[in-house]
């Protein structure tokens, strides 16, 4: 299709008129779109900010997963003698803390899990569909694609934030459980 369009362009660029663009022009004729460039640039900037937010959330999720891994390694590496403790409360507290670290790590991995986010139109579609359109019409269509993509991406990002928050609070719970268990164990040894 692109080859046909390019051949048509080399002969007479006014010959080809996409019916969708004709419809788009008809719909836009009654509107003064003087701020189209500003709206387009702002929508593009906001969409780019979404991707920066995703990167930031992924970094936080990977740090949480790493902390959970280090905490579990330290817990099982140095607290082995406490697991052998005859005090059932100490063993239960250590097991509860370990499970909370595992749950936090799993939630962190789910927050970090790769997802497909919407971006601009595909290059192929852009070349096939919009190559011959007037720039104003293309910008208008892409602006609405940005808005749609922003909405779809927002839902994915909200899910990522929810899982990250759950991971963080579960990590805090695990640390609290571990601190209480270790404090209890020290008190029992002192007596």
- Quote the pTM value: 0.73
What's the CA gap between 107 and 124, in Å, rounded?
A: 37
pLDDT in tens, 62-90: 999 999 999 999 888 876 666 666 688 88
Which is more confidently placed, 167 or 128? Answer: 167
pLDDT tens-digit series, residues 5-35: 444 444 444 455 677 777 777 767 667 777 8
Q: CB atoms < 10 A from the CB of 58, how many?
A: 16
The confidence score (pLDDT) of residue 16 equals: 58
Tokens 């009654």 belong to residue:
30
Q: Using N-to-C axis directions, what is the helix angle for 88-112 and 135-190, rounded to 10°?
A: 170
What would the DSSP string read from start to end of 38-95? HHHHHHHHHHHHHHHHHHHHHHHHHHHHHHHHHHHHHHHHH-HHHHT-S-HHHHHHHH
* Mean pLDDT, residues 124-153 taken together: 82
Q: Among the listed ranges 9-23, 107-121, 134-148, 171-185, which one has the minimum average pLDDT value?
A: 9-23
Distance CA 144, CA 147 (A): 5
Of 7 and 169, the one with more pLDDT: 169
Whether the per-residue pLDDT at 3 is higher than 60: the answer is: no
The label of the residue with tokens 């909370």 reads: 100
What's the whole-number mean pLDDT along residues 167-182?
Answer: 94
Q: Where residue 120 falls among pLDDT bands split at 50, 70, 90?
A: confident
Residue 104 tokens, joined: 């936090």
């Amino acid at each position: 299709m692109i080859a046909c369009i390019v051949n048509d362009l080399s002969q007479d660029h006014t010959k080809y008129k996409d019916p969708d663009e004709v419809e788009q022009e008809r719909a836009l004729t009654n509107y003064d779109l003087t701020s189209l460039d500003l709206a387009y640039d702002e929508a593009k900037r906001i969409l780019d900010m979404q991707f920066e937010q995703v990167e930031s959330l992924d970094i936080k999720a990977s740090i949480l997963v790493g902390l959970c891994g280090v905490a579990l390694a330290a817990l099982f590496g140095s607290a082995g003698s406490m697991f052998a403790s005859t005090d059932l409360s100490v063993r239960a507290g250590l097991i509860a803390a370990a499970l909370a670290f595992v749950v936090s790590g799993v939630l962190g991995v789910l927050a970090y899990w790769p997802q497909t986010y919407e971006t601009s139109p595909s290059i192929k579609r852009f070349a096939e569909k919009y190559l011959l359109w007037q720039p104003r019409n293309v910008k208008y269509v892409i602006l609405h694609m940005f808005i749609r993509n922003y909405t779809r991406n927002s839902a994915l990002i909200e899910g990522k934030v929810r899982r990250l928050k759950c991971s963080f609070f579960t990590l805090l719970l695990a640390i609290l459980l571990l601190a209480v268990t270790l404090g209890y164990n020290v008190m029992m040894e002192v007596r």
